[in-house]
């Protein structure tokens, strides 16, 4: 089950990673929308610096309307505009305007609005002899380089102008890539006189079909209607300005409707000497420069001749309007109300400067690779390092993505999306963190349930916060073990033979404070065996001072037992029954063992196994033999330099052939520092040395010194007195090792 959970915890974040990789394919418009918001922000933060080029805008602005009258203007104004522009050296004039109807101010046109009277009939010949504004406009247009605009549309079918250009499509392995171009059914054209006189015809459509918010970010260079190709106004202006006759479109493949388009199409467009990198649809990203008066000449100045040759000579002049009432305002990344003619000016400026924003074909692959690498790193590390460390990794990855994207834009003019990969990494991190949190809470709940009966609440919380510290299934480590048993339990139980419930209450009154002390000193309760307690230290949590904590717990248990006995005495006297005190024996030993889940598949418990555990149990049994409450193994005693310990014997407990030194615990630092304890310890060491060297008389003298110094250890002194009597009468062999071999537990 745990293995399945681990796989699920990995599977879900990886599934999210797969979804993140699939979103650009399944929801490309949504992804592109967010990408574009970032790219727009970059342009607002660092737009293209305006550099002076040949491009100028002849602006039909509010000032010009105030000076020359309301729109539409008579064609004579535009005739004057062309006259002054070309006499002062203009290179090409391009109209971001379509002249789709005859000029209503021409004499023939305006006379139709007059009352049909005899007077009108008398002057019909005079009117007919007057110049036609459209013809006059067309005549001057025919003598100059003029490009007029048209509007590609689906509202009309057919009505297409005759091309004034040639096309050549190269590359594409013989395939037809025209399917990549935006297709229109027809066009809104100029009147025949003007269309025929113009040197060029270009569509001023600023196609935003791929922009969900209608912001003009990419400039299409060509359109089509069926098999006919039509240039944009900017492309045609550039062709006419250079005197070129043919467009060269470089293709890389064909359009495949069944596969929703191919990753090929067009890649470059050549107009005269300019080669323009484009996407498969012949678009390129616009890198806008801010609006500036340097590129604008009010239309009234040119029409009235109020301009100098220096302002117009060799210029590409785009005629358009910024007047709000004429409704030619477009949304761009820099300004939601940008004059359409200014967009065309930005297109031409970029081509002339060779300054392009590009989103390379390989950019999505780089973004996906970044997402895969960072996503996998976060997924694999979040369970090892935790949420905080992985949050730093995710934040660093996002910062790298944003910084790299910004530098690519500002230094290389490349467009890389930081939002998609960053959002996906953040989502993966959140999913991994949530799953990790759920798993951690599950583990903490499991740990609390498993150890709340054995550990203090503080230790349970530590273990719950760090479940990795718990190695299930068993591990070898050094630990300290404590066994505590009631001595002389049989007489006590006989006193309650008619009141078994009372015996249960008594045992609970004993076990509860003893358990509290052990747990308060970082111990783990292994089990209760009737009136016996088994506990250990240094598992499941690390406890570098496990021997000290076990010794401290033993001393506190003795102190608590004295208070319990005092309470039991008072109760016995009040009830008029004999008082039987509770006496305990405690065995403590330190050594290596195996700790973990022990038991069967049906039932198991967190416990310990090992020889050091068994020795601790045997030492508890020897406490009665030596007349002391606590018996310490040497593995514990050697770590208690600051405590008052006293060596008792060199003993081989029952069931073991190897001898161990055993000690008792007389108290803590306050006793260990007293001169009385120091003298007792020195006397005991000398007595044991004499005893083991078979110097019975010397040992007896030193034993009496010990008895005088610690009369409360009467049983211990009597034990050695009996041994001295025995060995005096029946000396052991010369090679006797001084080991006492216990015959009882």
684-696 pLDDT per residue, tens: 999 999 999 999 9
Phi-psi region of 474 (alpha: psi -120 to 50; beta: other; left: phi over 0): left
pLDDT 10s digits, 460-469: 666 566 665 5
Q: What total number of domains does the chain contain?
A: 4
Please report the pLDDT score of residue 651 as a whole number. 93
> What pLDDT, in 10s, does the model give residues 347-364?
999 999 998 898 888 888
What percent of the chain is modeled with pLDDT above 90? 58
- Please check whether residue 214 lies inside any domain of the structure: yes
Mean pLDDT of 717-744: 89
Q: Pick the closest to residue 139 from 202, 90, 86, 177 (CA basis).
A: 86
Half-sphere CA count of 193, side-chain side, radius 13 A: 15
CA distances in angstroms from 728 to 696, 706, 724, listed in the order given: 7, 20, 6
Q: CA 41 to CA 64: how far, in whole Å? A: 34
In a domain, 651, yes or no: no
Q: Give the mean model confidence (pLDDT) for residues 646-660.
A: 86
- State yes or no: pLDDT of 459 exceeds 70: no
The helix-helix angle for 2-26 and 28-45 (nearest 10°) equals 70
Residues 15, 16, 19, 23: what is their CA dihedral angle, to the nearest 10 degrees?
A: -170
Q: 502: Cβ–Cβ under 8 A, 6 or more apart, which residues?
A: 496
Return the SS3 of 521: coil
- pLDDT value, residue 547: 95
**pLDDT tens digit sequence for 2-16:** 454 555 556 767 766
Looking at 640, 660, 691, which one is the last position of a domain? Answer: 640
Do 129 and 278 belong to one domain? yes
* Average pLDDT over every residue of 499-528: 91
* Closest to 35 measured CA to CA, from 265, 213, 262, 259: 213
DSSP state, residue 201 = E
Q: Which of 630, 632, 488, 627 is nearest to 565 (CA)?
A: 488
pLDDT at residue number 312: 95
pLDDT in tens, 231-287: 999 999 999 999 999 999 998 765 554 443 445 789 899 999 999 999 989 999 999
For 407, the domain range is 2-27+368-446
Of the listed ranges 45-54, 392-401, 540-549, the one predicted with least confidence = 392-401
Task: Answer with the one of 623, 640, 657 that is the final residue of a domain.
Answer: 640
Within 8 A by CB and 6+ apart from 648, the residues are 626, 628, 631, 662, 663, 664, 716
pLDDT, tens only, 639-652: 999 999 999 999 98
pLDDT of amino acid 704:
95
Specify if 601 maps to a domain: yes
Within a domain: residue 363? no
278 and 322 both lie in a single domain? yes
- pTM listed for this prediction: 0.61
Residues 563, 704, single domain; the answer is no
Angle at the Cα of 136 (from 130 to 139), degrees rounded to 5? 140
Whole-angstrom distance, CA of residue 648 vs CA of residue 294: 105
Long-range Cβ contacts of 50-54 (<8 Å, 24+ apart)? 50/289, 50/290, 50/292, 50/294, 50/295, 51/289, 51/349, 51/353, 52/294, 53/348, 53/349, 53/352, 53/353, 54/91, 54/314, 54/315, 54/316, 54/352
- Is the distance from CB of 451 to CB of 540 less than 8 angstroms? yes
| Separation CA 560–CA 566 (nearest Å) | 10
Residue-wise pLDDT for 304-351, tens only, equals 999 999 999 999 999 999 998 887 889 999 999 999 999 999 999 999
Determine the pLDDT at residue 491: 83
Tell me: do 77 and 204 sit in the same domain: yes
125 vs 727, residue with greater confidence: 727
The answer to whether position 663 is within a domain reads no
Whether 149 maps to a domain, the answer reads: yes
pLDDT value of position 380: 75
| Amino acid 103: pLDDT | 87
Which class for 711: exposed (0-12), middle (13-18), buried (19 or more C-beta within 10 A)?
exposed
92-106, 383-397, 602-616: segment of lowest average pLDDT: 383-397
Instruction: Give the whole-number percent of the chain exceeding pLDDT 70.
Output: 84
Shared domain for 590 and 687, answered yes or no, is: no
Note the pLDDT tens digit of each residue in 23-50: 666 666 777 788 888 899 999 999 999 9
Residue 676 has pLDDT above 70, yes or no: yes
C-alpha distances out from residue 402 to 334, 360, 367, Å: 20, 17, 12
Verify that 292 and 374 share a domain, yes or no. no
Q: 3-state class of 56 per DSSP?
A: strand
Output 43 or 389, whichever has higher pLDDT: 43
Q: In sequence order, which residues have a C-beta less than 8 Å from that of residue 58 and are 6 or more positions away?
A: 81, 85, 93, 297, 299, 302, 317, 318, 319, 320
Q: Determine, yes or no, domain membership for 570.
A: yes
Instruction: Evaluate if residue 471 carries a pLDDT over 90.
Output: no
More confident residue, 369 or 742: 369
Domain end among 322, 353, 384: 353
Residues 6+ apart with CB under 8 A from 187: 150, 151, 152, 153, 156, 159, 160, 161, 203, 225, 230
- Mean pLDDT of the region 552-563: 96
Give the integer Cα–Cα distance in Å for 53 and 275.
18
CATH of the domain at 622: 3.30.70.1230
Domain check: are 306 and 410 in the same one? no
Residue 513's pLDDT is what? 95
Instruction: Note the Cα 175 to chain centre separation in Å.
Output: 45
Which range has the worst mean pLDDT, 232-241, 399-408, 544-553?
A: 399-408
Residues 112 and 169 in one domain: yes
pLDDT digits 0-9 by tens, 578-637: 888 999 999 999 999 998 876 665 555 678 899 999 999 999 999 999 999 999 999 999
Does any domain span residue 63? yes
**Are 627 and 673 contained in the same domain?**
no
User: What is the distance between the alpha carbons of residues 507 and 511, in angstroms, rounded to a whole number?
Assistant: 6
Query: Do 401 and 344 have their domain in common?
Result: no
Predicted confidence at residue 130, as pLDDT, reads 72
Evaluate if residue 678 carries a pLDDT over 90.
yes
> Picking from 78-82, 253-257, 544-548, which range would have the lowest pLDDT averaged per residue?
253-257
237 & 346 share domain: yes
How far apart, in whole angstroms, are the C-alpha atoms of residue 148 and residue 200?
A: 6
pLDDT, average across residues 448-463: 58
Grade residue 381 by pLDDT with cuts at 50, 70 and 90. Answer: confident
Residue 92: both structure tokens together: 């090409």
340 token code pair: 């359409």
Does one domain contain both 439 and 530?
A: no
């Amino acid at each position: 089950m745990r293995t399945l959970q681990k796989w699920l915890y990995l599977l879900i974040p990886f599934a999210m990673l797969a979804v993140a990789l699939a979103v650009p394919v399944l929801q490309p418009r949504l992804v592109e929308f967010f990408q574009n918001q970032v790219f727009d922000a970059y342009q607002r933060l660092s737009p293209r610096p305006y550099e002076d080029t040949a491009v100028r805008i002849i602006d039909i602005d509010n000032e010009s309307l105030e000076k020359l009258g309301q729109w539409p203007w008579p064609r004579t104004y535009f005739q004057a505009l062309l006259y002054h522009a070309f006499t002062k050296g203009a290179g090409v004039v391009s109209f971001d305007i379509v002249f789709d109807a005859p000029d209503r101010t021409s004499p023939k046109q305006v006379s139709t609005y007059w009352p049909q009277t005899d007077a009108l009939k008398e002057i019909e010949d005079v009117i007919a002899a007057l110049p036609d504004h459209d013809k006059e406009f067309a005549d001057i247009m025919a003598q100059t380089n003029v490009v007029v605009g048209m509007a590609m549309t689906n509202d009309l079918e057919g009505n297409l102008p005759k091309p004034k250009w040639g096309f050549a499509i190269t590359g594409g392995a013989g395939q037809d890539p025209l399917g990549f171009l935006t297709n229109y059914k027809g066009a809104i054209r100029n009147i025949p006189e003007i269309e025929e006189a113009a040197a060029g015809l270009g569509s001023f459509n600023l196609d935003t079909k791929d922009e969900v918010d209608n912001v003009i970010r990419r400039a299409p260079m060509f359109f089509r209607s069926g098999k006919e190709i039509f240039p944009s106004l900017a492309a045609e202006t550039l062709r006419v300005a250079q005197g070129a006759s043919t467009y060269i479109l470089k293709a890389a493949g064909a359009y495949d409707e069944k596969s929703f388009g191919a990753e090929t199409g067009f890649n470059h467009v050549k107009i005269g000497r300019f080669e323009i990198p484009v996407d498969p649809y012949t678009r390129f990203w616009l890198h806008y420069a801010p609006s500036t008066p340097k590129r604008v000449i009010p239309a009234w100045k040119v029409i009235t001749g109020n301009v100098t040759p220096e302002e117009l000579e060799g210029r590409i002049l785009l005629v358009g309007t910024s007047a709000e009432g004429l409704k030619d305002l477009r949304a761009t990344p820099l300004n939601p109300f940008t004059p359409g003619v200014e967009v065309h000016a930005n297109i031409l400026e970029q081509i002339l400067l060779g300054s392009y924003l590009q989103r390379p074909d390989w950019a999505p692959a780089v973004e996906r690779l970044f997402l895969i690498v960072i996503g996998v790193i976060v997924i694999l590390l979040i369970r090892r390092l935790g949420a905080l460390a992985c949050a730093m990794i995710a934040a660093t990855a996002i910062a790298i993505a944003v910084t790299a994207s910004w530098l690519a834009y500002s230094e290389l003019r490349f467009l890389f999306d930081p939002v998609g990969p960053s959002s996906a990494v953040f989502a993966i991190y959140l999913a991994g963190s949530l799953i990790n949190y759920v798993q951690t809470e599950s583990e903490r709940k499991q740990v609390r349930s498993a150890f709340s009966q054995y550990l203090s609440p503080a230790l349970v919380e530590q273990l719950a916060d760090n479940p990795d510290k718990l190695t299930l299934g068993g591990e070898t480590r050094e630990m300290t073990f404590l066994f505590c048993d009631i001595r002389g339990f049989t007489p006590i139980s006989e006193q309650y033979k008619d009141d078994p419930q009372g015996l249960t209450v008594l045992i609970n009154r004993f076990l509860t404070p003893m358990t509290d002390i052990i747990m308060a000193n970082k111990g783990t309760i292994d089990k209760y065996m009737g009136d016996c307690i088994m506990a250990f230290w240094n598992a499941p949590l690390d406890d570098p001072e496990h021997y000290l904590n076990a010794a401290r717990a033993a001393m506190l248990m003795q102190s608590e037992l004295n208070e319990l006995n005092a309470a039991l005495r008072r109760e016995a006297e009040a009830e008029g029954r004999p008082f039987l005190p509770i006496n305990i024996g405690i065995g403590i030993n330190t050594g290596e063992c195996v700790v973990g889940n022990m038991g069967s598949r049906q039932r198991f418990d967190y416990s310990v196994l090992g020889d050091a555990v068994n020795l601790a149990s045997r030492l508890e049994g020897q406490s009665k033999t030596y007349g002391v409450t606590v018996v310490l193994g040497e593995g514990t005693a050697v770590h208690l330099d600051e405590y008052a310990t006293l060596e008792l014997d060199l003993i081989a407990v029952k069931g073991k052939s190897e001898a161990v030194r055993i000690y008792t615990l007389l108290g803590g630092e306050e006793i260990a520092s007293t001169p009385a304890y120091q003298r007792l310890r020195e006397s005991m060491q000398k007595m044991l040395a004499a005893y083991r060297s078979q110097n019975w008389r010397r040992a007896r003298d030193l034993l009496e010194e010990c008895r005088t110094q610690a009369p409360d250890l009467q049983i211990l002194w009597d034990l050695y007195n009996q041994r001295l009597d025995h060995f005096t009468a029946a000396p052991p062999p010369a090679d006797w090792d001084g080991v006492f071999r216990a015959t009882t537990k």
